[in-house]
A = this chain, B = another copy of it.
């Protein structure tokens, strides 16, 4: 059950077998069906999660009822609303399973416990937060500088396996365009080949 998360951790930092085991024992498994929610806007996010199986989307719904997808999380990715989780504020985000999924969850209390008793865990989350920050920074630059066509092509190239598992509605919400326009982009690209 915890092989994947163990591999994920030791990819980031050096940790002994005992430390890894101690940390992983703090997680609880949760099964979550397609279209079910791990978190809804308005709730306080009380967990940090690791996706063992399945696929999630993390999104926001704006005043006009439009979805913006912040990111997708498939196997081997972490999910949380870091804002709500760390500040104890109501979340602005929805975390929804796109496929039948399995996550490992750690509570805030147990995470604090880990920070105190397994000091290297502090480094683990610093390093992971840095990495996700770098990724978001790159996406921000791309969104500011690239056209929707290019962002779509980049997406396919960067996440080919994700691309297979997602509807165009979801990809459009991630790219920040209407699904009708995505449809037109797809047609244009198909014609070019």
Give CA–CA (A122, B16) in the complex, Å.
Answer: 19
A15 CB to closest chain B CB, in angstroms? 15
Q: Give the residue name and chain of the B residue nearest to A83 (CB).
A: B134
Given contacts A122-B122, A123-B115, A136-B137, contact A145 B70 (CB under 8 A): no
Closest to A177 in B: B144
Supposing A119-B119, A125-B126, A129-B129 touch, asked if A68 and B137 sit within 8 A by C-beta, the answer is no
CB distance from A21 to the nearest CB of B (A): 22
Are A134 and B62 in contact (CB-based, < 8 A)?
no
List 11 A–B pairs whose Cβ atoms lie within 8 Å, in order of A's numbering. A60-B145, A62-B145, A62-B146, A82-B134, A83-B134, A83-B137, A119-B122, A122-B122, A122-B126, A129-B130, A139-B140
